[in-house]
Structure 1
């Protein structure tokens, strides 16, 4: 893509702000952590610069503890046709209209400098309200594929921030307003970035994470794959596995058969530290996971979720594979034998593992929140 303005305009250096109190910026995000976390990171950056932030979200967006400290929040109605298809369209349209009306009334009071959307249907009512009031609006895309809500909004907004240099489903006309900023990651991730990576340690640490709910296929295949590894490789592994409680007994039995005593939990309170302490991570390839792996510089074996919209997780994983930082195994090919081959590639070649870690770190964008804030502020200054 060719940005309308040179990319270095949105580099990581904070911009000189006009004197006086900071402005107000509205962030529209909800639904999943993949949308909420980058919005949270932008909020922290804007507030650190003296600005005021207001979050517009849906019911699900209220369920993320620890995000948006000190930020005022307004819940609006939002809905998607989802699996119901066209049958639910009238009720969905009514929900979006109600959410838009609530957001319009709020914006007339707040008079924000800009409205920022983070994709997903919960962002739609707020962005529609901002556009109807002719406020400066922009969107941020976390994935390597422009999502459906963002595709709908792209022709109407002033700027499109992207997390990857190349984005699939980005029309040529929209690309002229696209700016590569990267995907913001949490401060805890940036702090964990400082942990050293030693590919030649006597024991290597493997982290398996399928998200907060776990991934059943990872819980089943990973222990079986480790059992196939040559004993010198297998017995020098320490395994941390985030998996569902209902799978715990079966996982423990499978790991015991492989001669491994893992740490297993359905939830780790400090996953960034667990990730940074690892030498290899086996995970899905959601936008936040991919961004965090790159920022920390951790090699990964990625198994894209096959039902992700537009197969965007495969595109996310492919970006790290192209950088030499990851291996990707499609779920249809994710067998114990195939995973064993992928693990052996790095476990038997420590120098190759070190090279992959360096490639991951080079692909990371720890300054993404600053770059996105610069773009948001610049967009808000355009009359």
Structure 2
């Protein structure tokens, strides 16, 4: 740990999956006496949880997508404008290094850092290297990963890679040393259901019905906390009332760490931050990966915790969307029937998987311990160590860091950078 105060810039795309680990790293660097600035887009600037001392700079994301040449031109112009704005920030802030967390809004900052000759560290939260991080992988000083196995990360970059894990919020990390909630054959069975920052409609459609299929002795002990979309919440409330299952519903829970602390089982998506929090705290899960996630990264995210025995996966068919509304007549009716059948099958799968994992207290406790063993509680500290190893203060001749990867158990990283 350095005793010299430096400046660092963090660049993160506008979703919680990118911003939450950026906030955690910012807190660690701030605690070490450094000054940190965040570059994101308008959506990212609105993500809850940003520390008060972390100044945000909003840049145009400049995403180039689709087949419309006009959209390409607008995206390219946004990237160029963002790059120019980032360079002006670098001139005034004088960062020692730039840390990119992926997402299209990070691209202009990464281009500016390359142009300015600044050291760059990438952090990949998912088990599949994201597209922006993939583009810059060969152009940066270091790549920090959250998983032992990262798809689409070229082996030729192995000497740049350090496994650190995915940093989580401090209030979640404090739960790691607390015991798993008491669970006996006659105790309450608390289930936490969330679908990411915007909720997931499929969970509102299948979880209440799946829980209603549980054996009466288990169903009578249920206590459900579920995040829903605003447009779904009343229908979900009625569903639980019909089934006679106590449920607390909301579109957003500010005290999510407290809810996670009391939960015996999690049901939801397998985004990177969700997996990081489940493994940091040690909570068993029924995971339903988002089938439309880019490069199917949510399925990849679930691999390690499932292989360890800490979670089970239910696949969501692509038909379980509102795409039937795009059609009329017989075609629409056929899609609606097919969707209803698939949702019913998913509900049955939810029932079977929950019954299997909660059939006795020891099974659930074993799954919780398996999830806990997959966690990286020092992720923020290890990532900060890696970041500090680049971009030394002018009064320091060499920064050297030697660290053993928590997963490989013997691969040491040594970095030297002379100023």
Does TM, normalized by the shorter one, top 0.5?
Answer: yes
Within the candidate set 219, 226, 245, 2:204 is matched to 219
Specify the SS of the correspondent of 1:66.
coil
Specify the SS of the correspondent of 1:168.
coil
TM-score, scaled to structure 2: 0.84
Write out per-residue CA displacement over residues 194-213 of structure 1, whole angstroms, 9 at most, x where no aligned residue. 44212327111011111232
Equivalent residue runs for 1:323-362 within 5 Å: 323-332=308-317, 335-362=346-373
Equivalent residue runs for 1:75-86 within 5 Å: 75-83=58-66
Q: Is the 8 A contact 2:222 2:246 kept in 1?
A: no
Specify the SS of the correspondent of 1:34.
helix
| Unmatched 5+ stretches in structure 1 | 1-14
Aligned twin of 1:101: 84
Aligned twin of 1:3: none
Specify the SS of the correspondent of 2:190.
strand
Within the candidate set 131, 136, 152, 1:148 is matched to 131
1:82/1:195 CA distance change after superposition, 3 Å: farther
Deviation of residue 245 (structure 1)? 2.9
Aligned twin of 1:128: 111
Specify the SS of the correspondent of 1:322.
helix
Write out per-residue CA displacement over residues 118-141 of structure 1, whole angstroms, 9 at most, x where no aligned residue. 001111111111111111111100
Deviation of residue 87 (structure 1)? 4.7
| Unmatched 5+ stretches in structure 2 | 318-341, 393-416
Specify the SS of the correspondent of 1:119.
coil
Within the candidate set 248, 258, 272, 2:243 is matched to 258
Write out per-residue CA displacement over residues 272-302 of structure 1, whole angstroms, 9 at most, x where no aligned residue. 1101210010010110011000001000001
Aligned twin of 1:161: 144
TM-score, scaled to structure 1: 0.92
Aligned twin of 1:370: 381
Equivalent residue runs for 1:23-62 within 5 Å: 23-62=6-45
2: CA distance, partners of 1:86 / 1:175: 37
Q: Is the 8 A contact 1:195 1:277 kept in 2?
A: no
Say if 2:275 is the partner of 1:293.
Answer: no
Specify the SS of the correspondent of 1:331.
coil
1:353/1:151 CA distance change after superposition, 3 Å: same
Q: Is the 8 A contact 1:140 1:160 kept in 2?
A: yes
Q: Is the 8 A contact 1:240 1:264 kept in 2?
A: yes
Which range is displaced more, 133-142 or 61-70?
A: 61-70
Specify the SS of the correspondent of 2:152.
coil
Deviation of residue 351 (structure 1)? 1.1
Q: Is the 8 A contact 1:324 1:359 kept in 2?
A: yes
1: CA distance, partners of 2:7 / 2:200: 40
Aligned length: 366
Kindly report the root-mean-square deviation, in angstroms, between the aligned alpha carbons of the 2 structures: 1.5
Instruction: Please list every run of at least 4 consecutive aligned residues from structure 1 whose deviation after the TM superposition is greater than 4 angstroms.
Output: 83-87
Deviation of residue 305 (structure 1)? 0.6
Higher relative contact order (CA 8 A, sep 6+): 1
Q: Is the 8 A contact 2:36 2:54 kept in 1?
A: yes
Q: Is the 8 A contact 2:13 2:105 kept in 1?
A: yes
Write out per-residue CA displacement over residues 323-351 of structure 1, whole angstroms, 9 at most, x where no aligned residue. 11100111127611111110100221221
Within the candidate set 95, 114, 127, 1:112 is matched to 95
Within the candidate set 167, 173, 194, 1:190 is matched to 173
1: CA distance, partners of 2:127 / 2:11: 20
Q: Is the 8 A contact 1:318 1:328 kept in 2?
A: no
Specify the SS of the correspondent of 1:294.
helix
Q: Is the 8 A contact 2:18 2:102 kept in 1?
A: yes
Aligned twin of 1:308: 293
2: CA distance, partners of 1:286 / 1:83: 24
